[in-house]
Amino acid sequence: MPRHLVVLMLLAFPLFAQAAQAQAALIPQPSRIEAGHGSFVLDRNVRIDAPAGRRAQEIAAFLRDRIREDSGIALRIGAATRQPRIQLRIDPSVQGEEAYRLTVTPQRVVIAAADDRGLFWGVQTLWQLLPPGHHATTLAIPAVHIDDAPRYAWRGVMLDAARHFIPVALVKQQIDLLSRYKLNVLHWHLTDDQGWRIEIRKYPKLTSVGAWRTEADGSRSGGFYTQQDIRDVVEYARQRNVMVVPEIEMPGHASAAVVAYPSLSCPKQPIVVPATWGVFTDIYCAGDEATFAFLHDVLDEVAALFPAPYIHIGGDEVPKQQWTQSTSSQQRMHDEHLADVEALQSWFVQRIQRDLEARGKTLVGWDEILEGGADRNAVVEMWRGDAEAAKALANGNRLIVAGPFYLDTPIEELTTQDIYRINPFASPAFAGHQDQVLGAEAPLWSEYVTPRNLEAMLYPRVLALAERLWNPDVHDYADFQRRLRAQYPWLDAQHIAYGPEDRDLVDYKLDYNPVQHRWRLRAARGFDDIALHYTTDGSEPNAQSPTFGDVLDRYTAATLKVTPYRHGVPYLTSRMFPMVDNKALGKPVTYLTAPDAHYAGTATQLVDGVIGSSDDYNDGLWVGWRGSDLAATIDLLPATPFHSIQVRFLQQSGSWALLPRLVTFAVSDDGKSWRTLQSTPIDVQPMDLRVMVRTVRFDAATPVTARYLRVTAQNYGLLPVGHEGAGKPAFLFTDEILVQ
């Protein structure tokens, strides 16, 4: 090879390496990218040249501010002739919705787009191309040419602020991140059973009453957004190319509204805002005109606050028992010639749809709005699978895909790589209907998500979603992972509390060793630099509390509370582990019928002194039987005097878990002849969808002495007619047998 060519290659290599490095850092990956030669030097002499229109000037100011925040370099906005410049240009030759062209040469940077949306995305790409340079005087941007456009128009994330309120500042921070990675829809779930989060001035009790609930520990929680908060967030999102779509749930998930105004339900009885999760029977009464007057007024104020052309009405998980029992709703069915309550729901949805269309708004609903028949002009959000998608597409509806991307799914079950590899649009259900597919979004339901773990549940998985929806033809996960990890230093600098790519931040396992009389808490940490701060009296840990790494041993009972910290910031809601010393602790247990294999726990699970959580049968501490009775015999080894027995049972009817019908305590000296101490019948309400824990207790006036103790709990049996699981066997869950 001639010597001069070798020299030229050696000189060019760093420039190509810089361009390759810049390309590796871009998420989502552009449709087409070519490395150039040299680099553009960014310093305070560079001008940003933008069209005179208001939006173009906003975009120029956005770029100026981001450069100043990241590097300290202060650019000016204005036309430049001789000075180096970043030029923003409207160019009709750039083809495609939201498309842009970005060209970086040593002389200048040009971002061209057919409209303002594409112009803004070009600016976001340029921002990602900037090398790190805090307090730098110059930055070198590698020469590159990019032609880019998204595949799907609807690229979104849903935030559920109803179950756990999300402060305005945190909502804005998520908008910043969605925008940086070219996601353009924030679906804001604002009302549900557990809270009403948006101020409606005509109905002040919606927020003064419906926005607050009493938790199991007696504390009050809640919050709401004022109308000024809403305007502020919507405007903040507009400036960043993000459309905010509100969701006002109806006709189900309406408990918070019914608490505020009981007349909205068919029974018209006072209820309380639920502090547990599930599907609740309190829904809007379809037979009463007052219901629609209320919803019309609410939508008046909502439509005025959100300029987006869409309003989401939910429409999912609607238990219709109250309509079945309501005279007015039955009369409505008669008057409208409706065959059943599913048709009544369809009538309800289509009436609301007409109300929205009169305001120039398009109705969006979860795929249950198809039940009973849906108007083809509604947009269907699919969460229950391809069969529902096929129904919507065959009906002519436009579609948003959500089901494969539920971010409340534990990270180890839906990893970043899983989301990257999902391609729901390849399903045969979509064949011939691609023009009806608006796009997709990832919902983050917040039953178990609070402001502390929200970002760990979102990121980095949302970045994989952004890549998949912008450029779905790319399938190189190793390359994506390299680009993803190049984002972490920037995310760290922004104090984003992102989580691991493929496992939970912390997985806890607490067990008891009866030989050593020791509780051991093991913690598998998703990041090595997570510090686990803890207390032993149930108080809230802080940054000054003691820490442990992977294992913490306790030889005396305590109420252990643990909070993970990373970079000095608490990452998750504290986890409590109550450990109770008692006379059955670690004793041998035998079952007449083995527990369900999914909920069997360890051999001594019911006598390990560890109390389960009050609302999660999947926490590893509850033992469950499906369709069969609990019959547990404890050998107290030797005969032991005691005063009381306590057993806790969980009801979560929406998950088919019911309280037992009868609980019996018996004792024996030889394990053959038994003496009943107490039989307690329980009035089980299978249609009560609230999550609850019932403690059954026996107390003796004088000590009872026995070697063997048997606890029997009669399973409810088959779920009754009217229950969504009618005819299926109920589960029975218990977490601990305490003998004291």
Edge-to-edge order in the sheet of strand 518-525: 506-513, 518-525, 551-554
**CA 17 to each of CA 11, 109, 133, 142, 143: distance values in angstroms, whole numbers, following the listed order:** 11, 19, 18, 9, 11
* Residue 566 structure tokens: 């990373």
Give the residue from 598, 620, 600 showing the smallest Cα distance to 511: 620
Residue 388 scores a pLDDT above 50: yes
- pLDDT score, position 372: 86
Instruction: For residue range 560-602, list pLDDT tens digits in order.
Output: 999 999 988 888 889 999 999 999 999 999 999 999 999 998 8
**Catalytic-residue membership of 192:** yes
- Out of 253, 433, 533, 723, pick the active-site residue: 253
Percent of the chain with pLDDT over 90: 85
Closest alpha carbon to 102 in 116, 115, 86: 86
3-state secondary structure 155-177: EEEEEECCCCCCCHHHHHHHHHH
pLDDT for residue 535 is more than 70: yes
Percentage of the chain with pLDDT > 70? 96
For 170-201, the pLDDT digits (tens) are 999 999 999 999 999 999 999 999 999 999 99
Minimal CA–CA distance to 434: which of 421, 423, 442?
A: 423
CA 346 to chain centre: 28
Annotated catalytic residue 253: yes
pLDDT category, 13, cuts 50, 70, 90? very low
Whether residue 232 is predicted with pLDDT greater than 70 in this model: the reply is: yes
Q: Residue 21: what pLDDT?
A: 53
Annotated catalytic residue within 98, 199, 317, 355: 317
Q: How far apart are CA 155 and CA 211, in angstroms?
A: 29
Q: What would you measure as the largest C-alpha separation in the chain, in angstroms?
A: 103
Measured in residues, the chain has a length of 740
Q: What is the pLDDT of residues 252-301, one digit of tens each?
A: 999 999 999 999 999 999 999 998 888 889 999 999 999 999 999 999 99
The answer to whether the CB of 143 falls within 8 A of the CB of 109 is no
Closest CA to 141 of 67, 65, 241, 50: 67
Among candidates 88, 84, 120, which has minimal Cα distance to 103? 88
Whether 408 is catalytic is no
What is d(CA 236, CA 390) in angstroms, rounded to the nearest whole number? 36
Give the active site residue among 98, 148, 160, 192.
192
Task: Indicate the DSSP class of residue 730.
Answer: P
Give the closest residue to 320 by CA, choosing from 286, 370, 365, 275: 286
pLDDT band, very low/low/confident/very high, at 611 (cuts 50, 70, 90)? very high
Among 60-69, 97-106, 129-138, 350-359, the minimum mean pLDDT is found in: 129-138
